[in-house]
Structure 1
Amino acid sequence: NGYHIVKLETVPFSGKIRDICWDGDGERLVVSGDCESCPGVVMLADTGARIGDLVGHSKPVTSVAFRPRRPFRILSASEDSNCNLFRGPPFRFETPHREHARGAYVNVTRYNPAGSLLASAGSDKVVMLRDPKTAVVIGQVTGFKGTVYDMLLRGDKDTMTMVTGGADRTLRLFKLTLTTEGDTSTASGEMTHEHKIGTETGCMVMALANAPSGNVIALTLDGALHTFSPTLEPISVRYGHQSAVSGVCPMGEGVVALSFGGVAVYQADPADASAECIVATGSLPTCKAVAMLPLTPTSVLCVSEEKRVHTLTLSEGTLVSTVMTTLPIVPVHACMGHEGKYFYACSGSHVDKVCMSTGTVTQLVERGRAGCAVCVSASPSYVAVGTSSTMRDAPSVCLYSLEGELKHTLTYHQNGDIACVQFSPDGERLYVGTSQGKGCVWNVGSIHDTTSALFEEVPKPMSSGLDFQRGSINTAVWCDAETVCVGCGDGSVTLYPALHPRQRVALAGVTHPTGVNSICTLPGDRLVSVGNDGCVVCTQRPPQ
């Protein structure tokens, strides 16, 4: 069932989870992490029932290995330099192992797929090869120039290999040999291939994984996913975000997204994991992007909280960022004007108008007249500015002419501030969302100018049932003249028909648990959303 994909949700212990490992049958799993009283738990996957506790460590358990076949064993690795062996089920502590250097962090422990060899490694730059049943050391692999963060054991008997990665920014492939004479077993490793990813700190290898095709996947500190052949030949590199993604904008057939860490990534097709992916170079904003606005099919405007306005340009396989101008205010929201000649930025007390051709900044609305301006949107006729509520006044949307003259005030009698305003593509309708999850649509096309600055009769919203959200309305985008897509602080993305809001459609499988920050549309009825979870999600818009 696409709407109910979670079979079991449980909290194994009160602390951060560091590692999870399944048994060979997929019936049991062991979870480890940071918890003083019990840093690890063994449980049944179907019910969550506990069948063992990982005790005996004085510091967090960084890694666990579950022997994939009987007799079952679990080896835990910890920051206290120890590895503990557990026998079960039910799983009980059996023996401690202190072969790693005193004071070293043991970062990883792994079984090979057949369960015939066990290994552990850490900050002492040594891989310990162990007996799979007793965890006794039967061999060592040395020669590393930095901490080993992760490793893979692959194959069995004559085809057994090991891949390691760590702080020396190098992947190494070893051929492992296991020899048994009577009751005594010995193991050794010979390096056959190596590949240095780079020299920067961001090239440190933090995690490794096996691909179904037999390739090796490596995650580096800078957030890149590297794909290598079984002999460590580079195949591809995929870049992602390690912090909240604050903005996303169409660029040609793809999108460009910017995260809080100052990383801008272009994805040729956000729905295809193998599509082209380019990381921007040049001067980039390192704080929240309040708006990302399309300029041309190959360029995007980025307005950030650090006042500088950047232009991201895609050319000949590179994405370059340059500074266009500097705003006199710290913007909280921005929008592109009609025909792309100007863009508007608001900040609490006033709204600025910036010329795209010259970068000249002029004040559209005088300081203090805009109230507490928190969001802005523009149409061929108006610039809409959403304001905060006060002790005396309800939140409202002020409609200004393109010259800055206040024409109309739309009062929305709901609690909370106006958090989002967005004109429809034809400029006839205006979506308004609040910080309390309430939303409505005004038919601004039916508002006619009068000689006075304000209407004598306050217009009412044509639709006010768009209020099924449980958090602040963070962003909205019109899919067409009739449908608006809303992203909320509760992580949901919902489609609302403007005239029939109760026929809403929550996009299944599209959720950002810590909040949606931005949404954009792509050709082919596709929607792309980003959020505080650092994810870029592409989905097909369902028919309505």
Structure 2
Amino acid sequence: MAELLETYACAPSTERGQGILISGDPKSNSILYCNGRSVIIRYLDRPLEVKVYGEHAYPATVARYSPNGEWIASADVSGTVRIWGTHNDFVLKKEYRVLSGRIDDLQWSPDGARIVACGDGKGKSFVRAFVWDSGSNVGEFDGHSKRVLSCAFKPSRPFRIVTCGEDFLINFYEGPPFKFKLSHRDHSNFANCIRFSPDGNRFISVSSDKKGLLYDAKTGEKIGELSSEDGHKGSIYAVSWSPDSKMVVTVSADKSAKLWEISDDNTGNVKKTLICPGSGGVDDMLVGCLWQNDYIVTISLGGTIYIYTASDLEKAPLELAGHMKNISALSVVKSDPQFILTGSYDGLLLKWVQGTGCYGKLERNVTSQMKCFAAVEQEIVSTGFDNKVWRSSLQGDQCGEADSVDIGNQPKDLSLALVSPDLALVSIETGVVFLRGTKIVSTIDLGFTVTACAIAPNGDEAIVGSQDGKLHVYSVAGDSLNEEAVLEKHRGAITVIRYSPDVSMFASADANREATVWDRASREVKLKNMLYHTARINCLAWSPDSSMVATGSLDTCVIAYRLDKPASSRVTIKGAHLGGVYGLGFTDETTMVSSGEDACIRVWKVTAQD
């Protein structure tokens, strides 16, 4: 059996030039955000506690708790809204196709009976409000000519709905049934976010024109604005009210968050400016915010979540980092203390410590995307899509200077001789390249299409996998290879090869969903019938004592096998990662870490079944 110990959540999906609208539930002190097809639930007072809802067929865009906290409505780019329970394994209650295009925002009515959603649609259908348990419409929403970026429901009677969007308009609707009442064109650029105050007296809109405007919640008339003195110098992407309705927090492309005191005469003056502790690059633009209980949450374009204590703003914020894209490589680095290193498709390297979570981003002076990497205690060797192999020293919590070598072909796989990691074997389509440091020792054409490779820890043997499913075993003599054996068992292209830590065995896996464990000395199959995945196997890992081997697949599952038991007594983790498992490692004999397409990392306790 396998027990989930920890989940290190992905970061919120962000887009340059666009805000993200996050929400939360004050009762459980949790927040909701989206990444890919996942909706992430995180708890502000216990950030390592994470839940993931992954039932959308298309990338999710926004999610909101119902007023009683029992239901969550989440929307996606296809215009679909799914309403599901926060307990009982996220049981699906209803699903509706609400708009013909992407949904950007949605809100519940304060009585929990209706939902309004807005976004992109065909014709003029950019906004729709409906009864959530029947799907029937509750009004007509005319007045917008372009995509509607944000909508809000007045939290008290008489009910009102307000919307804003790319046509610069603020529209005001009365109901139910809702009908157009009035429109304002006070903004001179995209109106990005609109929110009612919790007491139901006012609402505020913020825009890419750097302004925030205040309106009367009952009549819709403009009554004030945020002061331009000490105001934002860039587009304002999101706004959130304090629980007592006396202040708002705004976030901007100028990389700052500002707290504004809203006076009785409806002017807003800056009380505090929060500069997030990033490096000042584009990724430090702030695109989302939420004020919940005593927490102020801001989100950067790079996906970092900053959690401030509202009652003590001098205190440094808690930073939660994560991957935004598919994690393409994972390595457990056996140092003191031991840590987990993950690299995503977009080139981001993150360091994780079990029990702590993200330990920090490793800054690389390499901007290329990352395909795969291997890590030892003091060094990271990585390959990208630029035909280069990079070596970076690992100094403390950062990567040192990186050296690279262009091997003239797209690297397919990478393996280090762990006893002398200066020696690396890189596979390319036509053969392999031997590297010492960043010097090419030899490039060998093998005469077949290469798909995977592994080099023995002491560098005396290499195994190369081919497109036709054969494993070629070579002895390494200086800078050349001598073929010793060809092993035929697989019926699909070899995807991964790994030596066991005690070097007495090696394991291989293929695109036809089969894995095999081989005895290294006799080259006989040691564990067979490992054919329990339903799709390509992407990754493979050994436990430190060589007693267990685990495989991760495109079918979203991880399967662990014990060498002293038949393959049928395996441990299967179903749905380990939405979209597929791409990284696996062991931190000790029974603790396994996995990563995948969903940009999350999970730590599992695996105990063998009898």
TM over 0.5: yes
Map of 1:511 onto structure 2: 577
The sequence identity of aligned pairs, in percent, is 21
Write the distance in 1 (CA, Å) between the matches of 2:282 and 2:236. Answer: 15
**Are residues 1:170 and 2:256 paired?**
yes
Bigger Cα Rg: 1
Write the distance in 1 (CA, Å) between the matches of 2:201 and 2:588. Answer: 52
**8 Å CA contact 2:590, 2:607 repeated in 1:** no
Write the distance in 1 (CA, Å) between the matches of 2:283 and 2:430. Answer: 41
Map of 2:267 onto structure 1: 188
Unaligned runs of 5+ in 2: 1-85
Map of 2:489 onto structure 1: 412
3-state SS of paired residue (1:114): coil
3-state SS of paired residue (2:476): coil
Map of 2:103 onto structure 1: 17
Per-residue displacement from partner, 1:39-62 (whole Å, max 9, x unpaired)?
Answer: 344455567666567554221121
One of 210, 217, 226 as aligned partner of 2:291: 210
Query: CA-atom RMSD, angstroms?
Result: 3.1
Map of 1:304 onto structure 2: 384
Distance 1:289 1:130, change over 3 A: same
3-state SS of paired residue (2:529): coil
Map of 2:551 onto structure 1: 486
Map of 2:594 onto structure 1: 529
Q: Report the CA distance between 1:81 and its aligned residue.
A: 1.3
**Are residues 1:280 and 2:280 paired?**
no
3-state SS of paired residue (1:113): coil
Write the distance in 1 (CA, Å) between the matches of 2:87 and 2:592. Answer: 18
One of 323, 326, 340 as aligned partner of 1:241: 323
Distance 1:419 1:48, change over 3 A: farther
Q: Residue type matched to 1:219 in 2?
A: I
**8 Å CA contact 2:376, 2:418 repeated in 1:** no
Write the distance in 2 (CA, Å) between the matches of 1:46 and 1:444. Answer: 60
Distance 1:229 1:421, change over 3 A: same
Map of 1:402 onto structure 2: 476
Q: Residue type matched to 2:298 in 1?
A: A
Distance 1:359 1:310, change over 3 A: closer
**TM-score normalized with structure 1 length:** 0.82
Q: Write out aligned runs for 1:69-468 (5 A).
A: 69-89=156-176, 91-102=177-188, 104-143=189-228, 144=231, 145-156=233-244, 160-178=246-264, 187-197=266-276, 199-212=280-293, 214-230=294-310, 232-233=313-314, 234-251=316-333, 252=335, 253-269=338-354, 272-273=356-357, 276-281=359-364, 283-290=365-372, 292-296=373-377, 298-323=378-403, 325-341=405-421, 342-355=423-436, 358-363=437-442, 366-369=444-447, 371-379=448-456, 382-389=461-468, 395-403=469-477, 404-412=481-489, 414=491, 416-436=492-512, 438-445=513-520, 447=522, 462-468=527-533
Per-residue displacement from partner, 1:137-176 (whole Å, max 9, x unpaired)?
Answer: 222114132221011111336xx11111112222211111
Write the distance in 1 (CA, Å) between the matches of 2:217 and 2:143. Answer: 20
3-state SS of paired residue (1:289): strand
Q: Residue type matched to 1:110 in 2?
A: R
Write the distance in 1 (CA, Å) between the matches of 2:110 and 2:400. Answer: 48
3-state SS of paired residue (2:325): coil
Q: Which has the higher contact order (CA 8 A, sep 6+)?
A: 2
Map of 2:144 onto structure 1: 57
**8 Å CA contact 1:3, 1:509 repeated in 2:** no
3-state SS of paired residue (1:202): helix
**TM-score normalized with structure 2 length:** 0.74
3-state SS of paired residue (1:151): strand
**8 Å CA contact 1:491, 1:512 repeated in 2:** yes
Distance 1:333 1:96, change over 3 A: farther
Write the distance in 2 (CA, Å) between the matches of 1:519 and 1:372. Answer: 25
Per-residue displacement from partner, 1:345-403 (whole Å, max 9, x unpaired)?
Answer: 10111112223xx5443337x3143x1111112336642211113xxxxx222122233
**8 Å CA contact 1:239, 1:279 repeated in 2:** no
Q: Residue type matched to 1:116 in 2?
A: N
One of 119, 132, 137 as aligned partner of 1:33: 119
3-state SS of paired residue (2:368): coil
3-state SS of paired residue (2:419): helix
Write the distance in 2 (CA, Å) between the matches of 1:405 and 1:517. Answer: 32
**8 Å CA contact 2:242, 2:292 repeated in 1:** no
Map of 2:14 onto structure 1: none
Distance 1:439 1:14, change over 3 A: farther
Distance 1:64 1:194, change over 3 A: same
One of 531, 534, 537 as aligned partner of 1:473: 537
Unaligned runs of 5+ in 1: 179-185, 390-394, 449-458
Write the distance in 2 (CA, Å) between the matches of 1:60 and 1:71. Answer: 27
Map of 2:603 onto structure 1: 539
3-state SS of paired residue (2:90): coil
Greater Cα offset, 169-178 or 254-263: 254-263
Q: Report the CA distance between 1:507 and its aligned residue.
A: 3.0
Greater Cα offset, 128-137 or 228-237: 228-237
Distance 1:314 1:420, change over 3 A: closer
Write the distance in 1 (CA, Å) between the matches of 2:292 and 2:592. Answer: 29
**8 Å CA contact 2:350, 2:359 repeated in 1:** no
Per-residue displacement from partner, 1:71-110 (whole Å, max 9, x unpaired)?
Answer: 3332221111122334455x533324223235x2110011
Q: Report the CA distance between 1:30 and its aligned residue.
A: 3.2
3-state SS of paired residue (2:266): strand
